[in-house]
């Protein structure tokens, strides 16, 4: 891919989105505030789960591969998970964040988290005064962290994780957040195309019915996964897992129950329309197949893009060529619902299937650098074929790059509900404990429309309701077919 006339390495673009929808292992599409809530739940002795949303800047050519496997040279690995973890994250922000930062307010956000975690007030853990020199502010924070650790029932490492997360969340930036060591390892494995967790291989969402009761539904079943082999289907309602009811449960709650060591068995009760089914599923390492294609109607190719993983663009190109060899394609539906992103180079490759060569997909603004652009790559297969793109509040980052470009150019009809509004460019860097994603780019659409914290509104708004799912009817997909 070329960006602003430069050759671009693999670029990771995964957004942190605004709903509690995830793979069964807390593996994607978890809102940063949900992660923070889980950290605080850990204080009460409950299990903690994190999930990264990751974006890679094209600027970081030297980091394109190495950042996934080695610590940042500017962060000392000798530090541990104590107050120095927050200071390390702060100094990293000062060097790399897309906008200038004010250290004292950020440290005060970390102190506020310490207060919440310890139930202590400002008399014990006071704010740092405005205007305090940086070195003195760092020292005061470390001193207050020591004081908080002495009175906290939370292990010191967990307290450091929470304080770091709280500080980063105060930026209100979808692509700047903390990853604990487990989440960092899983992210690295996923982004390298390796199995990154053990579970059953589903995407789930918790939704409220008309009576206000929350139910957990299967949104997607990954091809070839244990869930697919066991016969679990899209829109199945998860009633219980290992006998534990999921009535009013969150997706995170269900995720915790579904996930487990490979080779173990989990018993799942599902409601499918009027049927209640009891299914035993053997957990296994999950490697997500990024693309699935089929003919959904005569001449209509239906593409489910689960994530912009390495090779997704080429895989999609080859599968569409195979479909076209079987029968002429007169229309395409590209389903980006729940797709939180992946590699920018793959977004450019997918966009290149439907737009002219070197079409600008997005514009990039970076700290102290001139504006640049992300362009499509590869020869188009369907430059004029009618195209409908399905989106929802789980469509983020790379999905929003494509949806925004298609909408700006009038190339596709966008169907569904507003997207996540989580679009930016960031680098993933290791810290002394875990790592962090740091926003280094502001990304807008080709016509310079902001997407971060705004989202992309569909051309045709269709919400998928609990009643729709209980009937097994994908009203959004029906609307997409009608739009063609």
- Say if 306 falls within a structural domain: yes
The mean per-residue pLDDT over the stretch 222-241 comes to 97
pLDDT score for 187: 77
The mean per-residue pLDDT over the stretch 323-343 comes to 95
Q: Are residues 169 and 225 in the same domain?
A: no
Cα(378)–Cα(32) distance, rounded to whole angstroms?
A: 35
Q: Are residues 77 and 131 in the same domain?
A: yes
Domain boundary among 265, 286, 307: 286
pLDDT score for 77: 39
Count of other CB atoms within 10 angstroms of residue 94: 14
Q: Are residues 470 and 346 in the same domain?
A: yes
Q: What torsion do the CA atoms of 131, 89, 47, 26 make, to the nearest 10 degrees?
A: 120
Q: How far is CA 372 from its chain centroid?
A: 24
Q: Are residues 104 and 207 in the same domain?
A: no
**pLDDT confidence tier of residue 78, bands split at 50, 70 and 90:** very low
Annotate 424-450 with b (16+ C-beta within 10 A) or e (fewer): bbbbbbbbbbbbbbbbbbbbbbbeeee
Q: Is the pLDDT of residue 288 over 90?
A: no
Q: Are residues 99 and 130 in the same domain?
A: yes
Q: Are residues 71 and 157 in the same domain?
A: yes
Mean confidence (pLDDT) of the chain: 85
Count of other CB atoms within 10 angstroms of residue 48: 20
Q: Are residues 38 and 166 in the same domain?
A: yes
The CATH code of the domain that includes 309 is: 3.90.226.10
Q: 3-state DSSP call for residue 333?
A: strand
The mean per-residue pLDDT over the stretch 70-75 comes to 37
Q: How far is CA 292 from its chain centroid?
A: 19
Domain boundary among 254, 286, 318: 286
For the question of whether the overall pTM of this predicted structure is more than 0.85, the answer is no
The fraction of the chain above a pLDDT of 70, given in percent, is 82
Please report, for residues 30, 383, 449, the alpha-carbon distance to residue 453 in angstroms, rounded to integers and kept in the order given: 16, 30, 12
- Say if 431 falls within a structural domain: no
The CATH code of the domain that includes 224 is: 2.30.42.10
Cα(156)–Cα(148) distance, rounded to whole angstroms?
A: 9
- Say if 253 falls within a structural domain: yes
Cα(161)–Cα(117) distance, rounded to whole angstroms?
A: 11
pLDDT score for 195: 66
Q: Are residues 208 and 338 in the same domain?
A: no
**pLDDT confidence tier of residue 44, bands split at 50, 70 and 90:** very low
The mean per-residue pLDDT over the stretch 363-377 comes to 94
* Nearest of 311, 428, 369 to residue 57 by alpha carbon: 428
The fraction of the chain above a pLDDT of 90, given in percent, is 76
Cα(90)–Cα(34) distance, rounded to whole angstroms?
A: 22
Between 75 and 451, where is the model more confident? 451
Q: Are residues 338 and 465 in the same domain?
A: yes
Domain count, the chain: 3
62 is in which domain, residue-wise? 2-191
Cα(11)–Cα(47) distance, rounded to whole angstroms?
A: 32
Q: Is the pLDDT of residue 386 over 50?
A: yes
Between 204 and 58, where is the model more confident? 204
- Say if 432 falls within a structural domain: no
Structure tokens at 177: 């957040």
Domain boundary among 155, 171, 191: 191
Residues 395-450: tens digit of each pLDDT? 999 999 999 999 999 999 999 999 999 999 888 899 999 999 999 999 999 999 99
- Say if 11 falls within a structural domain: yes
Q: Are residues 14 and 41 in the same domain?
A: yes
Q: Are residues 186 and 224 in the same domain?
A: no
Backbone angles phi, psi at 105, to 5 degrees: -60, -35
Q: Are residues 107 and 180 in the same domain?
A: yes
- Say if 208 falls within a structural domain: yes
pLDDT score for 323: 98
Is the Cβ–Cβ distance between 111 and 103 less than 8 Å? no
């Amino acid at each position: 891919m070329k960006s602003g006339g430069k050759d671009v390495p693999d670029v990771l673009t995964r957004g942190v989105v605004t709903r509690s929808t995830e793979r069964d292992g807390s593996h994607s599409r978890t809102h940063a505030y949900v992660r923070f809530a889980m950290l605080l739940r850990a204080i009460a002795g409950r299990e903690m789960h994190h999930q990264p949303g990751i974006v890679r800047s094209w600027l970081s050519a030297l980091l394109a591969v190495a950042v996934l496997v080695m610590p940042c040279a500017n962060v000392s690995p000798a530090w541990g998970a104590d107050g120095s973890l927050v200071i390390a994250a702060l100094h990293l922000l000062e060097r790399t964040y897309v906008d200038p930062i004010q250290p004292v307010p950020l440290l005060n956000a970390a102190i506020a988290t310490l207060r919440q975690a310890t139930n202590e007030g400002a008399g014990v853990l006071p704010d740092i005064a405005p205007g305090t020199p940086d070195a003195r502010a760092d020292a005061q924070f470390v001193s207050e962290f020591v004081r908080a650790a002495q009175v906290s029932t939370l292990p010191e490492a967990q307290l450091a994780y929470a304080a770091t997360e709280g500080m980063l969340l105060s930026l209100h930036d979808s692509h700047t957040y903390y990853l604990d060591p487990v989440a960092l390892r899983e992210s690295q494995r996923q982004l390298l195309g390796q199995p990154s967790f053990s579970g059953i291989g589903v995407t789930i969402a918790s939704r409220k019915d008309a009576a206000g009761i929350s139910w957990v539904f299967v949104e997607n079943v990954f091809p070839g996964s244990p869930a697919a082999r066991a016969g679990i289907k899209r829109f199945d309602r998860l009633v219980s897992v290992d006998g534990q009811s999921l009535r009013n449960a969150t997706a995170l709650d269900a995720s915790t129950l579904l996930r487990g060591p490979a080779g173990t068995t989990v018993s799942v009760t599902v409601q499918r329309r009027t049927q209640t089914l009891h299914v035993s599923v053997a957990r296994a390492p999950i490697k997500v197949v990024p693309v699935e294609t089929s003919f959904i109607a005569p001449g209509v190719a239906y593409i489910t893009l689960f994530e912009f993983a390495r090779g997704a663009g080429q895989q999609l190109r080859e599968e569409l060529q195979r479909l076209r060899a079987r029968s002429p394609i007169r229309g395409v539906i590209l389903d980006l619902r729940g797709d939180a992103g992946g590699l920018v180079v793959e977004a450019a490759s997918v966009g290149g299937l439907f737009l002219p060569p070197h079409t600008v997909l997005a514009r990039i603004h970076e700290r102290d650098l001139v504006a640049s652009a992300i362009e499509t790559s590869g020869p188009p297969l369907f430059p004029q074929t009618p195209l409908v793109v399905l989106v929802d509040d789980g469509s983020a980052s790379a999905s929003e790059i494509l949806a925004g470009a298609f909408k700006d150019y009038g190339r596709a009809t966008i169907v569904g509900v507003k997207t996540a509004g989580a679009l930016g460019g960031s680098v993933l860097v290791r810290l002394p404990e875990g790592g962090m994603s740091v926003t280094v780019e502001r990304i807008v659409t080709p016509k310079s429309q902001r997407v971060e914290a705004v989202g992309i509104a569909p051309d045709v708004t269709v919400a998928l309701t609990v009643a729709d799912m209980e009937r097994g009817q994908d009203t959004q997909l029906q609307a997409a077919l009608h739009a063609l």
